[in-house]
Copies of this chain bind each other. A is one copy, B any other.
Amino acid sequence: MYFSSWLSQLYRGFSRPIGRTTQPIWVPLSRNLMLGSQRKMPEFSSFVARTNTCGELRPSHLGQEVTLCGWIQYRRQNIFLVLRDCHGLVQVVIPQDESAASVKKVLCEAPLESVVRISGTVISRPPGQENPKMPTGAIEIKVKTAELLNSCRKLPFEIKDFVKKTEALRLQYRYLDLRSAQMQHNLRLRSQMVMRMREYLCNLHGFVDVETPTLFKRTPGGAKEFLVPSREPGKFYSLPQSPQQFKQLLMIGGLDRYFQVARCYRDEGSRPDRQPEFTQIDIEMSFVDQTGIQSLTEGLLQYAWPGDRDPVVTPFPSMPFAEALATYGTDKPDTRFGMKITDISDVFRNTKSEFLQDSLSKPQGTVKAICVREGAKYLKRKDIKSIRKCATDHFNQEVLPVFLKANSNWNAPVAKFIEEEHGLELTRMMELQEDDVLLLTAGEHAKACSLLGKLRLECADLLEGRGVVLRDPTQFSFLWVVDFPLFFPKEDNPKELESAHHPFTAPHPSDGHLIYTEPEKVRSQHYDLVLNGHEIGGGSIRIHDAELQRYILSTVLKG
């Protein structure tokens, strides 16, 4: 079992929208991030020169002498200064009396983003001057001493959330961008969720965290690997795609329960959801079945989930691969919204359309459709055009748009082939209403499904671009996809079989006997974990029977 790329999903979901206020709103990160309410707060100011963090000060601190270290975020008329550290902002009153001239000088002359240490007293803000949007907005600091630790030169951009920066500029000055509330939040969230996962695995369930080497031999098959020249000419190490081989050896070694937050490498260029190096939670258990590892995983996510979010509901729904393909046209369905694929072959069983008849007469021939609710309101002519182009470009397949008009008449090229009773049947099957648009295609089952699965997501993008909310970005729809086929016909020689995942995946317990008779029908014990349409994890029960493994390698796969 592994998890990866789950974190970017979570960031997306957990991101707090940044409002258009002129003052950045710092939610107290530390409190927000405390996972599980019973836990003690960490001591954020142990061992250091400050007594408190800027962001933690509240009316309960009134009268306390504090020492704070932080960055000058903001200064108003040389009277107020807002100091920032990793836990938030606090307002500091710059002293105006003669005797504190040196303190005033430090605080007024230091450029914004300079690092200072101040000490002073926590006092109430004068009545009416409280800022309820700011967690520390009820208090301010009356300064006694101030020391400039480091002066700041002019920065390429202001460290304020409302100041828009291009991504290129942010990446160029990554070390400055990290000062933003959002980036601080992301890094802390990741740290704490991974820590909670470790607690769950190590402390609650006796897993052993084993670090495996990264300078190793090549693994045959799989992704392209990075090579590292060794000291011996002509010999190379390989950076691992995953700790696969090591963890299997650890299981043979009797480790029983292994996990690792493992760095993996793939020399395949970067994509939005794939980087040359990435991290996955890598898990291996002895004596477990698929239900066991799924329960473990669900418990893991539930335990690691941030305490300020709706808790994760378990068990996660489960869907066989065949159903995912037929209903969503993909093995990683985004189940946050419907627009499911419907098989409407029966409606056209006796159609006069030669094109449809022709498609239906072929093996696995079908007519299928998705319904874009109120599509006629939102989809423009150019959208339909681009949808049809996408179908021909990527799937070499026609897709026909069917508009249901107010008078329940059909407005489509195929309309003439839809007899009245079939039209009614279609309306009933797909629960069609006025202004709905049907996207209809005919062809081989898997291909038609894949096409409509792709168009389903395209349409969702288009509708959301027009302001319709289909996929709630704060919703987390977990889904197990199970019962994958164990083998697929080879693309270049469909009479031979190849492993759908890898040759060590165990067959489904109910299908064991089919291995010897109809191996192409055998389902596997491979399972994927899908979140909002992204595969975030997966794994399989391995074959532990040497004889079966040998049979599969030598006879089924003709290795």
Asked whether, in the complex, the Cβ of B184 is within 8 Å of the Cβ of A254, the reply is yes
A30, A42, A295 pick with most chain B CB within 10 angstroms: A42
Interface status of A382 (Cβ within 8 A of chain B): no
Task: Return the contact of A253 from the options B44, B179, B229 (Cβ within 8 A).
Answer: B179
Q: Mark A109-151, 1 if CB is under 8 A from B, else 0.
A: 0000001010000000000000000000000000000000111
Task: Return the contact of A206 from the options B30, B207, B226, B277 (Cβ within 8 A).
Answer: B30
Give chain A's interface secondary structure class. mixed
A224 → B minimal CB distance (Å): 9
Report the Cα distance A115→B254, complex, angstroms.
10
A177, A256, A288, A293 pick with most chain B CB within 10 angstroms: A256
Which residues of B are found within 8 Å of A40, using beta-carbon distances? 203
- Given A47-B292, A178-B253, A179-B254: A203 in contact with B211 (beta carbons within 8 A): no
- Given A269-B231, A295-B47: A279 in contact with B85 (beta carbons within 8 A): no
- Contacting chain B: which of A187-195, A334-342, A402-410? A187-195
Task: Return the contact of A117 from the options B179, B287, B296 (Cβ within 8 A).
Answer: B287
Interface status of A174 (Cβ within 8 A of chain B): yes
Task: Return the contact of A285 from the options B47, B206, B210 (Cβ within 8 A).
Answer: B47
Stoichiometry, copies per complex: 2
- Given A210-B191, A228-B239: A151 in contact with B546 (beta carbons within 8 A): yes
A550 → B minimal CB distance (Å): 13
Closest partner residue, chain B, to A249 (CB atom): B175
Report the Cα distance A43→B256, complex, angstroms.
13
Which residues of B are found within 8 Å of A149, using beta-carbon distances? 544
A67 → B minimal CB distance (Å): 9
Report the Cα distance A251→B262, complex, angstroms.
25
Task: Report A's interface with B, CB cutoff 8 A.
Answer: 30, 39-40, 42-44, 46-50, 69, 71, 84-86, 115, 117, 149-151, 174-179, 183-184, 187-188, 190-192, 194-195, 198-199, 202-211, 213-215, 226-229, 231, 237, 239, 249-250, 252-257, 261, 263, 265, 267, 269, 276-277, 279, 285-289, 292-293, 295-296, 544-546
Task: Pull 24 A–B residue pairs with CB atoms less than 8 Å apart, ordered by A.
Answer: A42-B203, A44-B205, A46-B205, A46-B296, A47-B205, A48-B285, A49-B292, A50-B287, A86-B254, A86-B256, A150-B544, A150-B546, A151-B546, A174-B253, A175-B250, A178-B250, A178-B252, A179-B253, A188-B208, A191-B208, A214-B214, A215-B226, A231-B269, A263-B263
